[in-house]
Structure 1
Amino acid sequence: MRRPGTSFIQFRKRIPQDVLSKARGVSLSIPVGDEVFHTVIGARTGEITVSLRTRDSREAKERQAKVSVYLDSVWQALREGPKRLSHKQTQALAGEAYRHLVASFEDDPGSPEVWRKIVQLQANAMAGDDAARERWFGPTVDQTLANHGFVVALDSRTALLDAVGQALALASVQVARNADGDYSPDTVVNRFPVLERSKQTRAIVKTLPSGSQSITGLVEGWWREAKAAGRTVSTYDAYSRAARLLSEFLGHDDARAVTEDDIIAFKDHRLSQGVGLKTITGGDLPGIRQLYAWGMENRKVSHNPAEGVKVAKVKKKRTRDPDFTLEEATSILSHACKHQRTGKASEHISNAKRWVPWLCAYTGARVGEMVQLRKQDIRKQDDLWIIKITPEAGTVKDAEFREVPLHEHLVEMGFPSFVSSAGDGHLFMKLFGDSEDARRRAWRTTKNRVTEFVREVVTDKDVQPNHGWRHRFRTVAREVGISRDISFAITGHESKDEGDKYGTVTIKAKAGGLARFPRYTVLS
């Protein structure tokens, strides 16, 4: 309904007669969109009225359904008495609070100092009295319970308050790591179990009937095949994240119950969170679409709800060219030449700061391809030093190897001598463990540190701190007349010209092209 004097759509529902007397004085935490509205049922209250805080009729219907089911769970709890959460359920709900905080800030976490201060304030609240804990963590507890329509006993809420406090403190530490540039895999999130509901617990979310297909289950089924086919772990991470976010948004994990309207609502929800179009169009929707496509091919699901869902393309305004200017390039390279390892700084990271910018400058390679180089990936053949860029060392786009001769300037600067003196294994990464996760953590850490190092001298946000080298290499290659097929073979770009796919661009041809690439002159 609409109330005179406001354009917001309003929710209005009578309190059932059989619980009316028990409802007097009950506190409600009503979920409306991303907010929770608190109210107490008065002595003369016969109905619940709350603004849905939207003018959009479709969004109002979604919010109305959630409010209605929440209230139904409250009435049922009044009939049966509040329920108690198991310890596992308490930790699962705390995990939802953890994931929500991390997801809300990980793209743009802001200052690490601010988050460290928050961690300290949270610790003080946890060590303080009940009022302090309630003030800091109570709203999140109410939101989490309201999301599931849970009405719980006082002792269960107290236990959840403590668990959520601990989870939010851990989440703040994780966001502080992100703010520091550390996006290595989150090792904390897996400690929280998936929410399981006992027969006694009432919830607004749908439970999966026996034999159903879960959304997150599609990920694991797809990955078993995709891994064998050579797909990268980074793709698995992206698809897993998209499936988890969708499941959390919908409040259920039933892949067969997802509709196109659900995907549209999910897309709109992500946009409302401030998530960039590139993340949604390049990560969320393609991931969900691919998982459902696999599910249909393997008879796990009968439809693909993401197939027709699109996001309007907004052309990004360009205020400058995407490649580094000569001045920016020489500033970065000079900064690299002057870099000295100090204090307890990692030797591997220091080496990366010294050499990776130069390697990118003379190869046009992706920074991720350079930071994962191993000693065995650099060899001398006849009179040429050669870099082998291979998926055996880590992530390479399209999983295709290529070999690139070292520019003679890199040889004169002593890069081969550096490699010869280095220990076996990765040149710029220090691995703690033999697992794939350990390798990816080290890879991300080195990439982030190189990015931060470049940003010390090139602060213009309209140029990418590492990808700018790929653009600059192609620009210079055109200026000096290096043919497109040779330039593409060096940088690893894929040509759409069918003729370029015939024959091989040899090491000799690449070396001839690089011989025309001018040297960078920097101040020592």
Structure 2
Amino acid sequence: MRRKGSTFIQFRKRIPKDVLPKAGGVTLAIPVGDGLCRMVVGENAAEITCSLRTRDPQEAKERHTVAAAYLDSVWQALREGPKRLTQKQIAALAGEAYREPVGLFEDDPGKPLIWKEIDRLHTEAMEGGAETKEQWFGPTVDQILAKHHLVVDTESRSALIEAAGRAIVDASARLGRNAGGDYSPDIVEQRFPALELTREAKAAKPLPQGSQTITGLVVGWWREAKAAGRAVSTHEAYERVAQQLSEFLGHDDARAVTQDDILAFKDHRLSQGVSLKTIGGGDISGIRQLFAWGIANRKVSHNPAMGVKVAKVKKKRTRDPGFSDKEAVAILSHAYHHTRTGKGSTHLSNARRWVPWLCAYSGARVGEVSQLRKQDFRKEDGLWIMRITPEAGTVKDGDYRDVPLHQHLVDQGFLDFIAKAPEGYLFMKVFGSTEEAQRGAWRTTKNRVTDFVREIVNDPEVQPNHGWRHRFMTIGRNLDISRDVRFSITGHEPGAEGDDYGVASLEAKAAAIAKFPRYEVKPPL
């Protein structure tokens, strides 16, 4: 759902009746993407709502699953009643109160005077009474407990506030030394033990046999996700990261994976030169999703990727992400003059000739065009239509869309090419009838077209798969083509609730396509 006045998709879930009397006043730290949605449950609240902080429906589904699994674990903790923390567990949790501020500020702590004042305030709070400590350190403790889905007794919480307060005082003192240029080894951090919480749970509630492997989680998740229409590319990504994690750990036991394991895996991927975007948005997100499914289906009892964060890097742009006029004409001229040579594949030669032109006049992704079939083109009410559909292969949003052909494509003889083409895929040759064979052929065509474009434009700041999409949207704005029509042509997800009502007609899209100026290239000599 979307909240009125917001374009972000909302999470909404009722509190189970049996825990309603116990939920009031409980602090929640609901995982949303790489962050947390923190809230205190109202005394009379009947449901939990928070923003999923995304406009992408597919991403919202994934975040919804993770958030729902988190809440289920909190409700179960409330059903089981408050837990008593051991002294070692209290020390381990206090360590998180120490590491978070140190991790955030140690690289660039600022002026020593700032931390001297902060240290003074924290020290005074620790010298105050229980009410003062609650005011200063209680929120931090609640967030730590919420992150681990813990509901603890009063005595344990009071002891944790005391320990966390001391840890925070030590953290501000440490950052004060950092601000003064002292980066000597951190002996304070060493006193905090690793957190162990799951031993009792494992002993009390044995998990089903044969379904606790890391790679097995992928199999179970995909069985359900495939029926729900999830993209094959997502399955491939999850399967890949599960295998990588299993190989890195040297075992495949999902129940034995700890948060420290995931942190070590993150560092390992960084050492391999993998980008932060891939690690955060692909690796950690995938592991988090798999374990969330595992919790929801009683395959595992914890999610080790919960709370593991990866820094976001703001990419510095030095140019427009779309192809320039000169680049666009150069690429299309390269395609226009392309001819098959020697024993080269007919399908790949056709892809080099037509895929860039179809992308240029539709804003479609290279992969969407690479998998087009003869039956995906039709004539309706005098208009030639290209249908981009998940029936042909991968489509990011999982929905079809119809795009009228630009007259320039017709004039170049594209309809003659369609008429002479055999039934089936136009730009790829599939050897076999399996989904794996189709995906392999699709990747080959997409990669060969990308290589073909890179022969002309090798600037890493513009991507062959999205350069046409950016350019198409820019030209559309310049031509005053309405937002809903542009989005309907390119398959972008609308952002406001009102955009979901009604459709952009074929006539409206054809009129928009007709406005796009022709790309003039010189005919062959």
d(CA) in 2 for partners of 1:330, 1:389: 25
- Name 1:270's counterpart in structure 2: 269
Secondary structure of the residue aligned to 1:399 is: coil
Give the CA deviation at 1:513: 1.1
Residue identity opposite 1:380 in structure 2? K
Give the CA deviation at 1:447: 0.6
**Structure 1 pair 468–211 and aligned structure 2 pair: CA distance change class (3 A):** closer
d(CA) in 2 for partners of 1:209, 1:386: 51
Secondary structure of the residue aligned to 1:461 is: coil
- Name 2:363's counterpart in structure 1: 364
- Name 1:226's counterpart in structure 2: 225
Deviation track 1:176-223 (CA, whole Å, cap 9, x = no partner) reads: xxxxxxxxxxxxxxxxxxxxxxxxxxxxxxxx9966711111111111
1:100-249 aligned at under 5 Å gives the runs 213-249=212-248
1:30-45 aligned at under 5 Å gives the runs none
**Structure 1 pair 212–497 and aligned structure 2 pair: CA distance change class (3 A):** closer
Q: Is the 8 A contact 1:363 1:490 kept in 2?
A: yes
Deviation track 1:443-502 (CA, whole Å, cap 9, x = no partner) reads: 010011101111111121211123100000000001111111100000000011111111
d(CA) in 2 for partners of 1:360, 1:368: 10
Kindly indicate whether residue 338 of structure 2 is the aligned counterpart of residue 339 of structure 1. Answer: yes
Q: Is the 8 A contact 1:375 1:422 kept in 2?
A: yes
Residue identity opposite 2:293 in structure 1? W
- Name 1:287's counterpart in structure 2: 286
Residue identity opposite 2:494 in structure 1? S
d(CA) in 2 for partners of 1:302, 1:218: 13
Q: Is the 8 A contact 1:212 1:256 kept in 2?
A: no
Secondary structure of the residue aligned to 1:315 is: coil
d(CA) in 2 for partners of 1:416, 1:282: 41
d(CA) in 2 for partners of 1:363, 1:471: 11
**Structure 1 pair 496–510 and aligned structure 2 pair: CA distance change class (3 A):** same
**Structure 1 pair 436–212 and aligned structure 2 pair: CA distance change class (3 A):** closer
**Structure 1 pair 270–424 and aligned structure 2 pair: CA distance change class (3 A):** same
**Structure 1 pair 388–209 and aligned structure 2 pair: CA distance change class (3 A):** closer
d(CA) in 2 for partners of 1:415, 1:379: 13
Deviation track 1:348-388 (CA, whole Å, cap 9, x = no partner) reads: 00000000000000000000000100000000112100001
Secondary structure of the residue aligned to 2:220 is: helix
Residue identity opposite 2:404 in structure 1? P
1:433-472 aligned at under 5 Å gives the runs 433-472=432-471
Deviation track 1:52-79 (CA, whole Å, cap 9, x = no partner) reads: xxxxxx9xxxxxxxxxxxxxxxxxxxxx
Residue identity opposite 2:379 in structure 1? K
Deviation track 1:87-143 (CA, whole Å, cap 9, x = no partner) reads: xxxxxxxxxxxxxxxxxxxxxxxxxxxxxxxxxxxxxxxxxxxxxxxxxxxxxxxxx
Secondary structure of the residue aligned to 2:316 is: coil
d(CA) in 2 for partners of 1:224, 1:499: 34
Kindly indicate whether residue 523 of structure 2 is the aligned counterpart of residue 517 of structure 1. Answer: no
Kindly indicate whether residue 504 of structure 2 is the aligned counterpart of residue 505 of structure 1. Answer: yes
d(CA) in 1 for partners of 2:414, 2:277: 37
Secondary structure of the residue aligned to 1:379 is: strand
- Name 1:482's counterpart in structure 2: 481
Kindly indicate whether residue 493 of structure 2 is the aligned counterpart of residue 494 of structure 1. Answer: yes
d(CA) in 2 for partners of 1:264, 1:437: 32
- Name 2:329's counterpart in structure 1: 330
Q: Is the 8 A contact 1:219 1:240 kept in 2?
A: yes
- State the identity as a percent: 71
Residue identity opposite 2:482 in structure 1? S
d(CA) in 2 for partners of 1:238, 1:448: 17
d(CA) in 2 for partners of 1:334, 1:266: 46
Secondary structure of the residue aligned to 2:397 is: helix
d(CA) in 2 for partners of 1:410, 1:239: 39
Residue identity opposite 1:517 in structure 2? F
**RMSD of aligned C-alpha atoms?**
1.5
Secondary structure of the residue aligned to 1:496 is: coil
Deviation track 1:316-373 (CA, whole Å, cap 9, x = no partner) reads: 1211110000000000000011001010010000000000000000000000000100
- Which consecutive residues of structure 2, in runs of 5 or more, have no partner in the other structure? 1-98, 100-206
Residue identity opposite 1:334 in structure 2? S
d(CA) in 1 for partners of 2:465, 2:293: 34
Give the CA deviation at 1:423: 0.4
1:66-85 aligned at under 5 Å gives the runs none
**Structure 1 pair 423–256 and aligned structure 2 pair: CA distance change class (3 A):** same
Q: Is the 8 A contact 2:351 2:427 kept in 1?
A: yes
Q: Is the 8 A contact 1:212 1:254 kept in 2?
A: no
Q: Which has the higher contact order (CA 8 A, sep 6+)?
A: 2
Give the CA deviation at 1:224: 0.8
Secondary structure of the residue aligned to 2:361 is: helix
d(CA) in 2 for partners of 1:522, 1:398: 34
- Name 1:321's counterpart in structure 2: 320
Residue identity opposite 1:423 in structure 2? P
d(CA) in 1 for partners of 2:250, 2:269: 15
Residue identity opposite 2:519 in structure 1? Y
Deviation track 1:200-257 (CA, whole Å, cap 9, x = no partner) reads: xxxxxxxx99667111111111111111111122111110111111111111111111
- Which consecutive residues of structure 1, in runs of 5 or more, have no partner in the other structure? 1-57, 59-207
d(CA) in 2 for partners of 1:273, 1:522: 44
Following TM superposition, where does structure 1 have runs of at least 4 consecutive aligned residues deviating by more than 4 angstroms?
Answer: 208-212
Secondary structure of the residue aligned to 2:515 is: coil
- Name 1:303's counterpart in structure 2: 302
**Structure 1 pair 211–484 and aligned structure 2 pair: CA distance change class (3 A):** closer
d(CA) in 1 for partners of 2:210, 2:509: 56
- Name 2:351's counterpart in structure 1: 352
1:250-269 aligned at under 5 Å gives the runs 250-269=249-268
**Structure 1 pair 209–294 and aligned structure 2 pair: CA distance change class (3 A):** closer
Residue identity opposite 1:270 in structure 2? R
Residue identity opposite 1:503 in structure 2? G
